[in-house]
Amino acid sequence: MRKFLLITSVFLLALIGQTYAQDRLITGKVTATEDGSPLPGVSITVKGTSRGTTTNAEGVFKISVSNTASLTFSFVGFDSKTVAVGGQTTINVALGANTSQLQEVVITALGVSRQKESLGYSTTSVKGGELNQAKAVSVASALQGKVSGLQINTVNNGVNPSNRVVLRGNRSLLGNNEALIVVDGTVAPSDVLNYLNPNDIDDVTVLKGANAAALYGSDASNGALIITTKKGSAGAPKISVSNTTYIEEISFMPKLQERFGSGTESYSRTYIPFENQSYGPEYTSGSVLVSPGGMQSGTSVDLGMPLEDGTIQKTPYSYKKDSKLKSYDKGVTTQSAVSLSVGDKSSTFFISAQQNNTKAIVPGDVKNQTTIRTNASHEYGKFKGAFNIGYTTNTIDFTTSDFYNNILNTGGQVPLDQYRNWRDFKNADGSLNYANPNNYYNAYFYSPFFFKDVNRRKEVNTNLTGNVELAYKATSWLSFLGRVGITKKDYNGKYYQEKFKYSAYAKSVADFSEAQNDLNGNAFDYNSSETRLSSDFFLTVDKKIGKFSGVFIAGINNKETTIKNVSTGANSLVVPGLYNVGNRIGEAGAGESDFKNRLFGAYGDLSITYNNFLSLHVSGRNDWSSLLSKQNRSFFYPGADVSLVLTEAIPAMKELTFLSFAKLRGAATKVGGINVGPYALQTTFGTGNFPYGSLAGYSVGNTLPDPNLTPEFTTSYEVGGEFGFLNNRVNLEVAYYTQKTTGQTVTISTSQATGYNGALINAGTMQNTGFELDLKTTPIKLANGFKWDFNINFSQVDNKVLELYQGINELNLSNYYGLTSDASLGQVFATVGEQYPLIKAIAYKRDPQGRVIVNSETGYPSVATGLKTIGQTNPKYRLGLTTSLRYKGFGFNAVAEYRGGNYVYHGLASTMWFTGVAEATAVYGRERFVFPNSVIQNADGSYTPNTTVTVKDGGLGAWDSNLRRYGENFVTSAAFWKLREIAITYDVPKNILASTKFIKSASVGLVGRNLITLLPKENVYTDPEFANTTTNAVGLNNTGQTPPTRTYGFTVNLGF
């Protein structure tokens, strides 16, 4: 027995010894491949088990495992790696960044960096390389189609376009709905997107809702674009040089009728040589009735009236197909840029310069833009100082005339492109110059080229953005930062109209009505300056205790905005060509305005994360604004969000081979927004029509403000999820949000017996809900270097007006923003219970089946009572598609965008029906026709289908005098597909560059923007993205724009 126990004991001891011999202590360190920095919190698991550990703050770990085990290292934002233990006791691992993962560092409010996995709200980051892949001229155009929930509208394609940047639809009925723009920590005006050099951008982080941006104050109630520019980097100096040349050409023109020439008589079909309307006879090479002049051969008809020397211009009576297109130039833009980046372990320095020179498609329109930026930083002990400054100057010269409208509405038989050189009364051979206004064919409208050249605007504007900051790191967990910033815009310009007097002979011609009105000339100077000073001072506590880590921020913010406008002008000049206000007859007009407002804010922000999977974030801010009355100028708004990383919280989920990452999140916030200007709550006086001679006077404003006006408050809720699949080859992010804004700041009509036309009050509620989806995929990734990325971003937005003021069901936005004129046929409203904004138009009267009721004698449609509701003007759906192909040195990138679910009113169409150049006006051959789908109302109220009663006049009488008054004819779907950008690039191999000894990198490429635009069949007029305003009354476009264009070019980039 004793021998048995002894043998058993020896066996057990040997077994135990063998077991301990198989398990060994493994130590090591995990670092980042890119820069060798330690990675804290890396998850290390024994493959096939739930055993594991994490790295400490220095990236160090230790774990006991058997020599047959394998360790899997995983960390959000990096590729996972599995290592077999074998006989090793020390395992050091370097993880490479995985740019496709959802988890990444995000620049949030105040410039604070946070891991995206800890965020409880939706953000999107666009890196500089993606932003600038097609060498866009502006940051605004470079962002289009790349971010869900982001809508950027361009007013037109002119040489100096304006943009409207909106995130997640509208919240305010009449106030500002544009996103806040922040450049390197300083709040900047929205038009800064047109002035920044896209080459300077390192990252654009889009904080989509108030949940994300509330710390910036009431200005950020509409979300924010956080722009971070490039900084210097350690190592040898890096010099980058690039040049891009673009060609711009017209991509779309309205559909024009090509059958009928100038005239107004529908019955006799008489050609009138000096008429601007195109309701004349059909084009022919045979005989045509001319008035005056009788029958003439269509091979050579009169154009215009007899001139002073008895001659008259002749032209074939045929449609000049390319004449309108030839009236435009091919636009050319050259973009040259250079930058220097340098630094060491304690200092960085970056400087760049860019020159953009643009010759627009409108002859004579030019813009030259120069941009300079400098960023620098230096660390000294516990202190770090930094500054950045960007300066842009623009010199612009462009027409203020309706050149596009005048070109389109010229008769098709007119050789329009021959009238460019109008200044000489006679040609070199002594013959009269038909382009000169005295000899121009049209008796009622100016020559487009003449009017373009004599109505000009010249401007020099400068834009400055910058800040200086000083940080002090008191301890490893406590730091302080102070930042002072400035943005300054200065505009100095002149509007002028050239003086022109018609000849005595031109004035003597009875039919030449335009010659009866000389241009007396005018000149108006304006100077505008807007300066915003801001300061932020805050402390940051960044502490980790056990499995908890937290960041607390507390600070104060101050902003002061000063605006000054001065203008002066004269309406009648003495000396032609001298555009000086002193060169005048009569009194000069002048005006001046000064505004100043201040806002002070105090805020706190706390983020707590437990064990890398559960994060809670709360914030609060209180503002004091000088725009409001003393009793209401203080207001507080809180916010909170939470995120749960399921793949970290539930170990079993890590074993799902198809699932790489899973996170759920939710957020709630309340933010106040002030939508009144300086002094709006005070009774102010204006000069009105005074002074009258030597009599001075002032008149009180026509709006009575409520002195107890409060901010508009938006309450927002958001839920979402982020998921990675197949080793993060597929990443999905979804979000649903709802926002409700109460206490809207609106102006309502009042009885004139009060002495005022309106009252400024708090009234109205609007709700905004939406859904967003971002899908990022890498369908192909091969060992030979071939990689294909394909991404989708989708958003759906619903804006609805829930209530207005008692007894008021709608607000006319067109009237509020002064957009009446021809757009009165179609107007934009805020209507209770309807989508916002809503387009309504004068419409046909219809029977219960939707058939048009026509007059039993004239055949013309009847007018419906009131305006017809057609639909919303903001896109309900937006879809962006981006794709990228890389193989060795070759690259292909493309971005496409779809917008739909909305409508647009074409003001241009109405003028085209008036002149008869629109394709629709010739669809029945100018013959009498039965109005389609029409009925005649009987005496007993019943309806009989109309099959015999034709319209009284199939030409001008129908299309201009009757049908043109129905605005619904000019409302179409605003849907479109656009190929926003395309870039084909080639990186020159480094072994080829090595022989140069100084060129470190080189690439060449072909780039294009808006190469393809697809529109619904019904939209034969223009690009529905264009608008005549950057206000909330979107959905109306007018004649004061340029035609849609496409651009393509060649780019070269060198690095030294």
* Alpha carbon distance 1049, 1008 (integer Å): 6
Confidence of residue 10 (pLDDT cuts 50, 70, 90): very low
Give me the pLDDT at residue 316, please. 96
Least confident residue range of 54-58, 74-78, 199-203, 958-962: 74-78
876 falls within a domain: no
Q: Which of 66-70, 193-197, 590-594, 707-711 has the lowest mean pLDDT?
A: 66-70
**What's the mean pLDDT in 848-869?**
96
Identify the pLDDT of residue 647: 92
What pLDDT, on a 0 to 100 scale, did the predictor assign at position 58? 84
**Are residues 123 and 220 located together in one domain of the fold?**
yes
Say how far apart CA 969 and CA 909 lie, in whole Å: 9
Task: Tell me: do 49 and 81 sit in the same domain.
Answer: yes
Q: What Rg do the C-alpha atoms of the chain give, in angstroms? A: 34
Q: What is the pLDDT of residues 876-926, one digit of tens each?
A: 999 999 999 999 999 999 999 999 999 999 989 999 999 999 999 999 999
pTM score of the predicted model: 0.87
Tell whether 66 and 120 lie within a shared domain.
no
Cα 336 to chain centroid, rounded: 24
Asked if residue 131 belongs to a domain, the reply is yes
Residues paired with residue 201 on neighbouring β-strands, in sequence order: 229
Cβ neighbours for 132, distance < 8 A, ≥ 6 positions apart = 142, 198, 199, 201
Tokens for 459, please give them.
């401007």
Q: Give the up-direction half-sphere exposure of residue 929: CA atoms within 13 A in the CB hemisphere.
A: 16
Give the count of domains, the chain.
Answer: 2
Report whether pLDDT(1029) > 80: no
Residue 203 lies inside a defined structural domain of this protein: yes
| Residue 77 pLDDT | 66
Residue 148 backbone dihedrals phi, psi, to 5 degrees? -65, 140
Quick one: pLDDT band at residue 6, thresholds 50, 70, 90? very low
Please determine, for residue 21, whether its predicted confidence score (pLDDT) is greater than 70: no
Residues 230 and 118 in one domain: yes
Residue 79 banded pLDDT, cuts 50, 70, 90:
confident
Same domain, 159 and 46: no
Confirm if 1019 and 977 have CB atoms less than 8 A apart.
no
Q: Are residues 170 and 54 in the same domain?
A: no
Rounded to an integer, the average pLDDT of 110-126 is: 83
Look up residue 74 and give its DSSP letter.
E
Average pLDDT, the chain: 90
* DSSP letters for 214-249: GGG-GGGTT-EEEEEE----SEEEEEEEEEEEEEEE
pLDDT of residue 692 exceeding 60, the answer is yes
Least confident stretch, 49-58, 298-307, 330-339, 1020-1029: 49-58
Identify the pLDDT of residue 505: 94
3-state helix, strand, coil in the chain (%, to 5): 15, 50, 40
Q: Burial level of 413, CB count in 10 A (0-12/13-18/19+)?
A: buried
Whether the pLDDT of residue 16 is over 60: the answer is no
Of 214, 121, 212, give the one whose Cα is nearest residue 621.
214
Same domain membership, residue 221 and residue 129: yes
**Same domain membership, residue 84 and residue 167:** no
Q: What is the pLDDT of residue 701?
A: 80
210: containing domain = 105-235
What span, in angstroms and rounded, lies between the C-alpha atoms of 711 and 829?
Answer: 22
Per the structure block, which two tokens stand in for 541? 């506590």
Q: Which residue has the higher pLDDT, 483 or 1042?
A: 483
DSSP state of 97: B
Stretch 693-713: mean pLDDT? 84
Choose the weakest-confidence range: 67-71, 719-723, 772-776: 67-71
151 and 194 part of one domain: yes
What is the model's pLDDT at position 17? 41
Residues 172 and 62 in one domain: no
End-to-end Cα distance, the chain: 86
- Top pLDDT among 192 and 815 is at 192
Does residue 967 lie within any of the structural domains?
A: no
User: Pick from 18, 17, 20, 42: which is nearest to 29 by CA?
Assistant: 42
Does one domain contain both 109 and 226?
A: yes
The answer to whether residue 7 scores a pLDDT higher than 60 is no
pLDDT at 271: 94
d(CA 1030, CA 1015): 22
Residue 100 has pLDDT above 70, yes or no: no
> 661: pLDDT confidence band, cut at 50, 70 and 90?
very high
In a domain, 79, yes or no: yes
Alpha-carbon torsion angle 1011, 1016, 1017, 1021, nearest 10: -70
- Which of 61, 95, 129 is the last residue in one of the domains? 95
Q: Are 77 and 164 in the same domain?
A: no
Residue 445 counted as domain residue: no
Q: Which SS3 state, helix, strand or coil, does residue 568 take?
A: strand
* CATH classification of the domain holding 85: 2.60.40.1120
Q: What is the pLDDT of residue 104?
A: 67
Buried b (16+ CB within 10 A) or exposed e, 551-581: bbbebebebebbbeeebebbbebeeeeebeb
Domain boundary pick from 63, 95, 127: 95
Residue 31, in any domain of the structure: yes
Residue percentage of the chain with pLDDT more than 70:
95
Q: pLDDT tier at 942 (50, 70, 90 boundaries)?
A: very high
- 34 in any annotated domain: yes
Contacts of 46 (CB under 8 A, 6+ apart): 52, 63, 65, 69, 70, 71, 72
Predicted pLDDT of residue 20: 39
Residue 756 has pLDDT above 60, yes or no: yes
| Dist. CA 457–CA 404, nearest whole Å | 17
What CATH number does the domain containing 192 carry? 2.170.130.10
Q: Which of 235, 258, 274 is the last residue of a domain?
A: 235
